[in-house]
Structure 1
Amino acid sequence: MTNLIATNWLAGSETQGLAVKEMALVLSGDGKVCTVLHSSADVEPNESIDALWSETVCSRICDNLRRVLRDRRFFSEELNLDDNGRTAEFTYIAQGRDRVLLVARDTSRKREALSKLKHLAYVDDATALPNREYFLTELEKIVEHQRLCEGRSAVICCHFEGFGLRQGSVSTAHYDEILQELGVRLAYELRGANSDRDEDYERRSVVARTDFQRFAVILPAIENGTDAEAVAERLTLALQAPVEIGGKTYRARVHAGIGLFPQDGSDAPTLFQNANAATEEARTGEAGEVRFHSGTVKLRTLQRQDLEVELRSALDRGAFALNYLPIVDAATGEVRAVEALLRWPESVMGAHSTSKVIGLAERTGLIVPIGEWVLRESFDQLKSWQDGGQPELRLSVNLSMQEFSRVEIAPRMAALMLQVGVQPSSIDLEITEKMLGRDAVVGYRAMDALHALGVSFIVDNFGTGACSLAQFAHSPVDGIKIDISLVNSLETCERDLAACAAAISSAHALGLTAAAEGVETTGQAELLQQHGCDFLEGFLFSKPLTAPQMREFLANQKRAIGS
């Protein structure tokens, strides 16, 4: 029985080449080895554990041995083994009156992975500055503090452009160097805003990269708007100074907007939004322009508020819903994944066209919180299904252009996966060919970061854009999904059938999977199977289902396979 417990406890552990010793030992109360059940280090019966770990760790283990023998209880804790970040989990199980089973497992890699996720969640990769997620978290704390002490704060947003990245005159590598230089300049200029005695957390300024071409600064304690304006002017001058990179000189056009607490927003999201709105107003002026959030900006915002308010209200009251469409293995018919489909509220769609609603959501940026809701809701649902008997099920989610091009998409998604508890390797993110254009610098960085964690990327609506499969050969793309327009005419148009067959063959040659959407007839499914399509999706297998309906659908299939 002891051997079985030890084996189960160490299941899945890699024991070769470990920096941390993994083992299962039966020990006496004074720390002597009685039986070696498993060990990645040389240890013999009757030896002391002193040779296995440091004096501090061994002393702690001996204390725990006595504790477990006294209390007759299962006990587990994680210990730091040294100053290099190595950790191990030690589990103690009493064995009779004077013996304890000790199982030691390496947790260093788990901690390292967690640390990487947290780093990704709060740090901008290109500049090493805090990102939007961290910025908003800190802003909420500062706003709350200033509300309690009736103080004033300011947010400054600096938008820069003119480096010629989109025209190809500066490489991605040089662009990163430019961003790093700008970040250093901001930090240097803000030293004056943080006096040497400002050790209080609430009085120190924060600088972050919050979007592709935007930095943001929090001035946590100011006397008035003039203070914030003076800092904003210094920042714009610093950012507009020439940057020498790779033997070339680059100059930026910079505009800044200021939001003041409490008059421009009594909460962090509103204050940040209004500072950004002021920045957009500043961009209508000359380079170096600094604007406060003004009545003009408010008027322009009010002009588009009606539908925006409806969308926000729908989001706040939970009026959005998700349906799910099964994606089946073309060879076996088994459900391998489900695609999350957003259902727009009837109160919104009843009065407006889909294109108008989506267009407004994209222009106002509401598509981002809506997309975040979709991710959280679908991740929660996937976790529920996996825990309920579908551990291998995958989830496919569509990303909008706005989500894909935001600097913080990778860290926010990493943080969400960490919070919900879903494995990145069970997530497929669907993007379009258009998103992979030559200007998709931020998107490719996000793809690389998420792909490294195990997330897969599928090019949706394949066959409708201008991209060729050759463009995916050196990108973090894992598969394609052939567009419904080609699938619809498979049985009647030889040209479309040939296009599908070529796409499937080319995808496989590049090591990509091939799926087809919009499969509605048995004939379409058979033709796709004959040409080696891996996955099929469409009304032939199921209409979109609610979460409870999909749970029943999956359970019925599992019972059918089991019988």
Structure 2
Amino acid sequence: MIHKRPSASLSSAAVLALVAGLMVTIALFVGMRRLEHDKVDLEFHQRANTRILTVQQQLDQTIQVVKVLNQTFASFEHVTREQFRSFTASLLQRHSYVQAFNFHRLIPDDQREAYEAGMRSIYPGYRMMQMEGSKLVPARFADRHLIVDYIEPMAGNEAALGLDVTPNPYLAEAVQWATDTGQPAATSLLTLAQGGGRVRGFLVVMPVYRHGVALDSVEARRAAVIGDTAAVFNAATLIEKILGENGMLNDVSVDIGVYASGEVDHRHLAFRKGNPVAVSYPKNFAGMPHWLFYDYPEPIVYDFDVAGRPWKIVVSRQEELFAARHNGAISTLIGGITASFLFAAFVQVLASRSRRVQRLVEQRTAELRHANEMLVEDIAARRRAEDALNLRQRAIEASANAIIITSAQAPLYPIEYVNPAFERITGFTSNDVAGRSCSLLWAGDRDQPAIQEVMGAVREQREARFTLRAYGKDGRMFWADAYMAPVREETGVVNHYVVTLNDITATKRYQAELEFQANRDTLTGLANRNLLQDRLRQASAYAARYGHPVWVLFFNLDRFKFVNDTLGHHAGDQLLKVVADRLRAAVRETDTIARLSGDEFVLVLPERTEEHLSPAVVRRIMDSVAEPIVMESYEFVMSSSVGIAVCPSDGGDAETLIKHAGIAMYRAKETGRNNFQFYTSAMNERAMERLRIESDLRNALERNEFALHYQPQLDLKTGRLIGAEALIRWHHPVLGTVPPGRFIELAEEIGLIVPIGVWVLRTACRQSMAWQRAGMGPLRIAVNLSARQFYQQDLVATIRDILAETGLEPQLLELELTESMMMNDVEVAVDILRNLKAIGVQLSIDDFGTGYSSLSYLKRFPIDLLKIDQSFVRDITLDPDDAAIVLSIISLAHSLRLQVIAEGVETEAQLAYLQRHGCDYMQGYYFSRPLPTTEFELMLGSVASAHVLGSIDAPAVHPETIDT
């Protein structure tokens, strides 16, 4: 019998097995690819949103810095260059990303020449410049100029000082918009003068209006504007610091592009990391979604506003880092295909064997074939179910979020499963929580709205999203963002709940830090100006509603600068922290303490019905601060000066109350420090007068408003006129003659005393030489030096140049110094005095007896003359104590081989006493008051004709004769 050879073709069973295996494999591959893609996409969105939020919030904070700076100009009618430097120093220290702070002053062209001359007295060689391309050229003619008048820090920004920014259209547009609205405005990207034309950045400006002008319309604001304050930012450096300080520059997987415009345009690119918007991939491949083969998330484009100007951020993934994230899916695909072919081969072997057996036993072969087919289908179904379950289990265990599965059995709803992420986040193991309620996560902290949301969702068997305070096994609290969903059977009955938890503690902490920075002083933790104004508004409303006054205390430490100068700024910061702690301990919890800047604090003390405010409360606070402070082995006692404004009598709004309290504080400083003063309207008038005098004083030298008067000095032994003291007078065009007491101290404070002192020296020496050339003989000219002038590094060189310029002999110039001036730093003072003596000038100590010098120091000073203060001379014939002091000074001077001159001699009895006890020289109204130049020349002519005056009380030297 001929047997037919078995067919070698693939059996239908093997084909079915192969197809079934491939379908299961593809389904598993697609599912895992979807999970892998979603994971990458979620990670990317979290990173991108964190960076976008960080950049936007930090840029918004820069606007607050500009507002803080602008508030200084709104609070004070005139901010000096020194005040601007002092105020911006703390801002620059806290906000290192600021390139510079500017004050742009609006200068009409007809005032340009006067303005440049005034600036050259401060900055020799100063000229107004403007940018042309990347070069600085002299400013061209224009109706008005917007000049960089103040700039801090000066180091690195010298090129911007005096820059006329009017020709810059971008800055002009921002300034115009800010002027019209009164709000901060940002420029587009522009070239900064500070970088030599290579640095691009932007400015945020706020207008400065003239004080006392109503700003109720755009026209009124344009008419009242006098300039603007600005913060200069290097755009790339600013955003790089924002991202770097938050640890966001080290992530090489994310590309970021920031544009200072509403369009993605390279011309407006402020910052770029990587190659944003460079990701490209096919949207579909053979009709299939892109995520099946690609892990590239879509770029995120976000629009926001910076001070009125639209900005745009583009965040994207780097292609090369995310091109092969589907290793698990690929492994599943390869393994599934391999298993499918192996299984198909196995089925093929079985089928071949069945066909051979079929030739022998046809019926048994058919039965076995049927049984094998059923077995194959059953195995495939079991394999698919097992693989699907394994996939779900692996996905849950690989999740970065905590996943909890609980029973729906009330009332405990026991936990049946937690994934590894839950154990990592909470510290609880699966054994710790098995069979327990989810309420263990919030422990005893049940007063949370989120818990009520959970209970309501369970009752209603619905989904819920909530944020709650959760607690780990060690008691550590963390913030959790949770999502809960019910699991239903085929009949719709809920049998389980699935809860996912995401730890958002870091995000919450960052939000809290941002809020703290916006309302708190970073050094002391006290309220800053923003929070202070809010608290003051609340306190004012309380005072108006209940009739209980609110006290606003402007608190300033006396001589705080001494600590910074001697121990450094770190020690100064530590001292400020100690003072802040003492202020907290000295007031109630409901009171507000704020630090404005430097050593200035503001306290808001509302009165309660059961507790009244009184001066004793203020004194108690001052005493608590004045307790000794030990720092670096030194003990300090920090006294304070306090100004008090009362709401509502001294003002109803925050700015007015702070301003009036500040005025009262300066009055407390003027009255000797370590005291407090209540605000009065007279103080405001005094402050305004001080501002007017300060403004006019800056121009007095240029306008030739200063003049010198000369008070004669006589030799008490011979009666000869041996010299004169040069005394400055200010002839104000409106106020008339302003005495030195009203402007000398002010000139010291604002730094004008140095150029004024140089003018006095040059004018006095020149006048002395003019008298010599006129044949009136050599006269010794005495000139007073201020403390600031004395410690100028170029003092000796300046005096040497003036003597060479005028031709005056050095021994005819006498420099008058005070005791307190030299006692500030004895070693430095001795060196300066020796250098002055090397020139050949005469040195005298003015107002001797009123200072704190000792004999040991007096011996070290190379001086020639002691000047007895007029407070001792006035009563030498009436008060034995004054007489004894004068006699002691004369004896002390002569024992040290020094000469003595008495000032303020007004009576014949005083003159006789001084002659009797050996005083060498005198000056005073008994002989002559200080005389203008012409009158002094007339007196010199009469003296020259007489050659020698003879006795002091001769008619020739009688005061009436001199006055006429």
User: TM-score, normalised to structure 1's length?
Assistant: 0.48
Task: Give the structure, 1 or 2, with the largest relative contact order (CA under 8 Å, sep 6 or more).
Answer: 1
User: TM-score, normalised to structure 2's length?
Assistant: 0.29
Larger radius of gyration: 2
